[in-house]
Amino acid sequence: MGKLQDTFRNIFKIHELRQRILYTLALLVIVRIGAHITLPGVDARVLSEAMANQTSDNLFGLYDLFVGGAFSNAAVFALGIMPYISASIIIQLLGAVVPYFQKLQREGEEGRKKITQLTRYGTVFISTLQAWSVTIYLSSMTANGVPIISPEVSGFGFTFTAVVFLVAGTVFMMWMGEQITEKGIGNGISLIIFIGIINQLPFAMIDEYRLIAAGTRNIVIEIVILIFMVAVIAGIVLVTQGTRRIPVQYAKRVVGRKIYGGVTQYIPLRVNTAGVMPIIFAQSIMFIPNTVLAFFPDNEFMQSLAGYFVYTSFTYSFIYALMIVFFTYFYTAIAFNPQDVAENMKKQGGFVPGIRPGKQTAEFIDNILTKITLPGSVFLAIVAILPAFVNRFGVSGSFSQFFGGTSLLIMVGVALDTLNQIESHLLMRHYDGFMKSGKLRGRRG
């Protein structure tokens, strides 16, 4: 315990690291404040009554989890950072099929700046559509016959004002996420999602306790189910952290009187190279159908179609799982390029025993990566949809989401990645870090 305390003291001895952490915390506090500033024209008291009658087991409840309760508060940050993630996904998908975007990806820093600019434009467009659908959803809500939108501002005035505030809130959060990544510690976008999920945990536990106290929940069954969920997810996480090592032999080279090479090294291929990004990508896409359907609150066909995209439905879980498998392969292809690895090996005089350098080596690595990514993607999909099935056994969706599926993976993954960055700063300044003290063993690249 003493070593861990020394580690925390060392963190604040490093001026740059201390400034980065305080800067990150300050922006995250602003994110939480914005999640409680209600949109102009919304009656907060009537809204609270209306939301009290809403179930958290649907997709809007899950969206509210990702934005830290800002959606149920009808806050200026109600859209969260999801429009930015959706725009990023679209741009990356276009980069795989559209020559123009492929060219930008190869142009280095200038191309990256252009892609970032296009992503921001896409964020504004997507957030505008989602903000419009949110205004329609809010306009249809009532509590005991009283609308949550004040009559004097309802109509076009409220719609225009709310869209402007919601889009501005999303753009501001996007900017804060980029600032955290650049000047703070950790990945800003992931931390914004992380802090929103963590914020909702105490409320979910309190609500679940009230249900147990009222006798509507069986505490023994819930504990058994949650232990089972945590055990299954822990096992899957351990499996997906495994690696397959490819031996690489480097030929001997004589330069002057020195001999280089002649040793065998290994290329580690992880079962889950993509981490939690496939889940975040897939989840942001799954919010789109409900966003579109929200434009037609009075259309019976559209509302019946919306039943297929209920968070606990089989259709939703099936499509969600397929998208996670797809994005696992997609993100792995972005993060690890077998062709580049094979070319670098060839330049350095390395080769896989029994495989010709160059194209055949790239195909060999790609074949192995494809095979080990499949179980990783399937396990990731199982973890993501597990809470939806556990919900059928009596555990509420708002509570089960914290102990399985998307929330748990995001919380653990983001926490480890952030602590790894802190660890790197400590080691660069020759201080003992978390891992050396034996208290944390994260993913080290």
Question: If you write DSSP's letter for every residue of 415-445 in order, what string do you get?
Answer: HHHHHHHHHHHHHHTT---TTTTTS------
Query: Please, what is the end-to-end C-alpha distance for the chain in angstroms?
Result: 26
DSSP state for residue 392 in the 8-state scheme:
G
pLDDT at position 375 is 83
Q: What is the mean pLDDT of the chain?
A: 77
- Partner residues linked to 264 by β-bridges: 249
Domain spans in the chain, listed from the N-terminal domain onward: 1-209, 218-403
Q: What is the pLDDT of residues 67-92, one digit of tens each?
A: 877 877 888 998 888 889 888 888 88
| d(C-alpha 290, C-alpha 319), whole Å | 14
Residue 72 C-beta-side C-alpha neighbours within 13 Å = 23
1-209 belongs to which CATH class? mainly alpha
Contact 411, 198 (CB under 8 A): yes
Q: Is 0.75 topped by the overall pTM?
A: no
Domain 1-209 identical in fold to domain 218-403: yes
| d(C-alpha 345, C-alpha 316), whole Å | 43
Is the four-CA dihedral 167, 168, 169, 172 of positive or negative sign?
positive
Q: Which residue has the higher pLDDT, 117 or 382?
A: 117
Residue 200: pLDDT over 70 = yes
* Residue range 210-235: mean pLDDT, rounded: 69
pLDDT at position 234 is 66
Residue 103: pLDDT over 80 = yes
218-403 belongs to which CATH class? mainly alpha
Residue 11: pLDDT over 50 = yes
Binned at pLDDT 50, 70 and 90, residue 445 comes out as: very low
- Residue percentage of the chain with pLDDT more than 90: 9
